[in-house]
A and B are shown apart, each in its own frame.
Chain A
């Protein structure tokens, strides 16, 4: 393979890689895990959980949710989102340890079912 062909094939491989990376990252979702399985040893890893909002605390810069499955875990979202206790949520983020306890820094979330107002 001469240099010209080598460079052409390489660039084609690189473009294919870039397009694939973009496409797959847009389509890929993690499998949801149980909050019982999330511990300090998972710090830095990406996780996805599904659970019920059992508490939240909003500040100017972030929103802290307590999501229960039933074991509760704290989720921090740097987003001004609207949650209610009882909402069923699907959250993807990375695990961090804060004050010795694992919590999730949420990157993507969706509210699967809003608690019906009574």
Chain B
């Protein structure tokens, strides 16, 4: 069994690397394909592979998010500062900062694990009856943070929410998250990048930005707070949590924000494991599939999943660093606008293959809402109304 589990963790890592580097491909979709293809394997082997895949995806997706503007809902909040760094030829540095945040958040969560295992069920027991109201509070907070453009903020949030309602209830639409999130985040940003008149400057694989240990610890701490919120409240994702915690802490400076987004992404995945074990609720689709594969999760199985997470997180950072370096070299010889066009076409093809024509309509609608958000200079966490609104409707 030992060899099977190690092989499973490494296989999951490999698949997660590919899915993370593939623009527009969500980890839940990659996990669903994997589960479908491995129907005959023991549940523990599948679960270990899924955890390895999930963490690898989270770490690697920052590479296309920075270099190809293909942001997901996890990386979207870093899009603007990362794009600014890319325009200064510091795309590699943006990825390095995000990875630093990912690793720091992961290690902070591990150190606090005993407390988290105790805290999560207690807080959930108290908060479960108020989930709808808490989400409503977060929605109001996000709108208040954009009060200078209140009308447009409400419009973007409401339109995203309406899109979410439609996408989840449209008959015959498979994998609604794929077209919806791709449209709102990745495609909208790519379209705006294509519409802009710029030439991608030469990218230098150099380390310019420094993050002091105290700043790193602060971002990791904020990420734990944000990740804990995500673990308790459904539909609250890394985007909103990063946005709210950074605003409350006053931390919106570029490099610190990129670190925070990285930390929140890895902490939210880690917390999904914690909630799966403590309250049997995985807040992430791929981890939920691991939960289904395992059934009853004892301390032994949970420890194995943690070990797989360690292995995947560690190796993913190494791969991502070299992927970022390679991207710097490769980008130099490419027509960036053509590359963005290819990425957008690839996402379109993925959506058509998995969700059909109705998926394309949802994606294009999402893209137009996302473009409105970008043009008006609004916080992209408002686009998470697509998940928050349907969940609020359930709980309120």
Contact = CB atoms under 8 A, between A and B. Distances in A.
B304 A24 contact: yes
B317 interface: yes
21 contacts: A1-B216, A3-B96, A6-B96, A6-B103, A6-B317, A6-B321, A7-B317, A9-B103, A14-B315, A15-B314, A17-B307, A17-B309, A17-B312, A17-B313, A18-B311, A20-B310, A21-B9, A22-B2, A24-B303, A45-B294, A45-B295
B107 interface: yes
B304 A3 contact: no
Contact of A25 (B2, B100, B306, B309): B2
Interface string B274-308: 00000000000000000001111010110110111
Interface of A: 1-3, 6-7, 9-18, 20-22, 24-31, 33, 42, 44-46, 94, 107-108
B113 interface: no
B310 to A, nearest CB: 3
A28 to B, nearest CB: 3
B1 interface: yes
A15 to B, nearest CB: 7
B374 interface: no
Contacts of A42: 295
Contacts, number: 117
Contacts of B200: none
A3 B321 contact: yes
A10 B300 contact: no
Given A7-B317, A11-B318, A94 B43 contact: yes
Contacts of B99: 6
B207 interface: yes
Identify the interface centre among A10, A16, A28: most chain B CB within 10 Å of its CB: A10
Contacts of A16: 310, 314
B328 to A, nearest CB: 13
Interface stretch (B34-42, B137-145, B247-255, B347-355): B34-42
Nearest to A47: B295
B303 A94 contact: no
B311 A14 contact: yes
- Chain B, interface size: which category? 35 or more
B311 A2 contact: no
B314 A44 contact: no
A20 B1 CA distance: 14
Given A14-B315, A20-B310, A21-B5, A44 B293 contact: yes
Given A24-B303, A28-B301, A94-B42, 4 more contacts: A13-B314, A14-B318, A21-B5, A45-B43
Contacts of A22: 2, 6
A13 B313 contact: yes
Contacts of B106: 13
A30 B313 contact: no
Contacts of A13: 103, 106-107, 310, 313-314, 317
Nearest to A26: B2
A44 B39 contact: yes
A37 B306 CA distance: 28
Nearest to B46: A44
Contacts of A9: 103, 107
Nearest to B298: A31
Nearest to A107: B1
B300 A28 contact: yes
A17 B311 contact: yes
B44 A46 contact: yes
Contacts of A3: 96, 207, 321
A10 B315 contact: yes
A64 B42 CA distance: 19
A45 B292 CA distance: 9
B137 to A, nearest CB: 35
A46 B45 CA distance: 9
